[in-house]
């Protein structure tokens, strides 16, 4: 199936937030179809450099179309950030953009198994060359494990009922397709918010679990801060509350001095300086962008800057 063209969310706002220097070194942690990367390259001068990451082999193949000596695309999760930069002799960067979540092509290509809109193999992996598929995980997971994943990653009220239904269905064979899973969930979920498919939260939770999306995010953020040059920018676009909560708390904590016991005899001037400074308020898509691209409606962008060392 041919997917519609991917529309980059908060394109101009994100690139503007990076405050690009023409000779700077930048990282696009999620290349996707290259919208942000191309906009960054357009602002870089001849001495600039852009390293992009993506774990999706289809995205990496699409990136081969970018013929630019200043650009390199790495087939790896962005949690490999520090190691990949070290291999390339880069110790400091001037800005990092993380555009989180799943891309439109991943949702719209039936064979990826990320959507209940198509009946297809239940894969859900962003990197189809490695790791366990959602079907394989469901074939082995216990009721307790499935319940935990659906509650934590999907905030699903009927997690236990769905988990029991999945495990019971395994007696007749694996839950191997998106259609099978969606049908199980529909029977197990008694009520649902108007306009939302009963399987929406389940599919989100399994995708996050299979790809370890929240763990990847928690791993990369400290690496980014360690690599940012003074006044370098960290720009993160999140699409659901679990991601945004991690980003918000990380930036908040990194922008404050260490929280010590009140009576500890330490002067404020002697405390380590915060590593980050928050920049502005969260940025949301405009009404016009949401109309043009409804999938942008849940996006929120947060910006922080590396403080003076």
Which residues belong to the annotated binding site? 34-36, 54, 78, 99, 106
Spatial separation of the C-alpha atoms in residues 12 and 173, rounded to whole Å: 49
- Compute CA 130 distance to the chain's CA centroid, rounded to the nearest angstrom: 18
Q: Which residues are annotated as a binding site for S-adenosyl-L-methionine?
A: 34-36, 54, 78, 99, 106
- Side-chain-side CA neighbours of 188 within 13 Å: the count stands at 24
Residue pair 97/147 in contact by the 8 Å Cβ criterion: no
- H or E element in which residue 62 lies: helix 57-63
Six-digit token string for 205: 């939770």
Question: Buried b vs exposed e over 175-203: b needs ≥16 C-beta within 10 Å?
Answer: bbbbebbbbbbeebbeebeeeebbbbbbb
DSSP-assigned letters across all residues of 121-133: B----SSTTSS--
Cβ(200)–Cβ(223) below 8 Å: no
Beta bridge partners of 234: 96, 304
What distance in Å separates the CA atoms of residue 102 and residue 109, rounded to the nearest whole number? 12
Report helix, strand or coil for 89.
Answer: coil
What is the edge-to-edge ordering of all strands in the sheet holding 25-28? 71-75, 49-54, 25-28, 93-99, 228-238, 300-306, 276-278
Token pair in block for residue 18: 């990076």
Q: Are residues 234 and 224 in contact, defined by beta-carbon separation less than 8 angstroms?
A: yes
Look up residue 189 and give its two tokens.
Answer: 């979920």
Roughly how many angstroms between the first and final C-alpha of the chain, as a whole number? Answer: 51
């Amino acid at each position: 199936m041919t997917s519609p063209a991917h529309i980059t969310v908060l394109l101009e706002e994100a690139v503007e937030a990076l405050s690009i220097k023409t000779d700077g070194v930048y990282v696009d942690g999620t290349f996707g179809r290259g919208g942000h990367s191309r906009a960054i390259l357009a602002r870089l001068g001849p001495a600039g450099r852009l390293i992009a990451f993506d774990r999706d082999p289809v995205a990496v193949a699409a990136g081969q179309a970018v013929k630019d000596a200043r650009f390199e695309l790495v087939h790896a999760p962005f949690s490999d950030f520090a190691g990949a930069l070290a291999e390339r002799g880069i110790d400091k960067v001037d800005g990092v953009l993380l555009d989180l979540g799943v891309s439109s092509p991943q949702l719209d290509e039936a064979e990826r198994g990320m959507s209940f809109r198509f009946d297809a193999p239940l894969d859900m992996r962003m990197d189809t060359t490695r790791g366990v598929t959602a079907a394989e995980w469901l074939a082995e997971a216990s009721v307790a494990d499935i319940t935990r994943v659906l509650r934590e990653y999907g905030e699903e009220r009927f997690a236990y009922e769905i988990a029991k239904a999945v495990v019971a269905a395994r007696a007749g064979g694996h839950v191997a397709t998106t259609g099978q899973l969606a049908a199980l969930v529909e029977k197990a979920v008694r009520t649902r918010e108007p306009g939302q498919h009963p399987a929406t939260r389940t599919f989100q939770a399994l995708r996050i679990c299979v790809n370890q999306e929240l763990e990847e995010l928690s791993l990369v953020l400290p690496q980014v801060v360690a690599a940012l040059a003074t006044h370098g920018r960290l720009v993160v676009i999140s699409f659901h509350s679990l991601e945004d909560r991690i980003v918000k708390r990380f930036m908040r904590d990194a922008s404050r001095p260490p929280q010590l016991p009140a009576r500890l005899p330490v002067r404020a001037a002697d405390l380590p300086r915060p590593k980050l400074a928050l920049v502005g308020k969260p940025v949301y898509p405009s009404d016009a962008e949401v109309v043009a691209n409804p999938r942008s409606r849940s996006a929120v962008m947060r910006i922080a800057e590396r403080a003076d060392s």
